[in-house]
Amino acid sequence: MSLKKSKYYQNYLDAVAKGRLTLPDIDPTEPLILKVGEVYCRYPDCPERQKRYSATNNLRHHYKVHFADNESLITAGKSGTPSMEVIMDAISWYKSITTTHDE
């Protein structure tokens, strides 16, 4: 299964864009670990939470604004095709945030 074909990932993209899903905040004191495909900011009170970034790496770059005092908390992205395990983990996360929203 590909991430882009996952209904949970598509629900994430659509619901956030339309303001129907509030994403869980990240903890700004903990290392930032992004899921494959994340394109919306989850920094608390960020005015750009509904802005869709074109790629996860662009979102990671956006987080540098928020973590300016401690960029070491931003984990590096991995290049190349993600493993099936990484994709399934991401789909599980998208499912958890979108099904909680739907209930």
Please report, as a single letter, which amino acid is at residue 75.
Answer: T
In tens, the pLDDT along 14-61 reads 999 999 999 999 999 999 999 999 999 999 999 999 999 999 999 999
Which structural domain range is residue 44 located in?
3-79
The answer to whether residue 74 sits within a structural domain is yes
Residue 97 lies in a domain: no
Q: Encoding tokens for residue 33?
A: 């670990």
pLDDT at residue 70, rounded to an integer: 87
13 in a structural domain: yes
Tell which residue, 42, 36, 34, 55, has the closest CA to residue 16: 42
How is residue 19 written in tokens?
């303001």
Domain count along the chain: 1
Within a domain: residue 95? no
In a domain, 27, yes or no: yes
Phi/psi at 90 (5° precision): -65, -45
Q: What is the pTM of this model?
A: 0.89
Nearest to 49 by CA among 74, 75, 24, 82: 24
Structural domain contains residue 55: yes
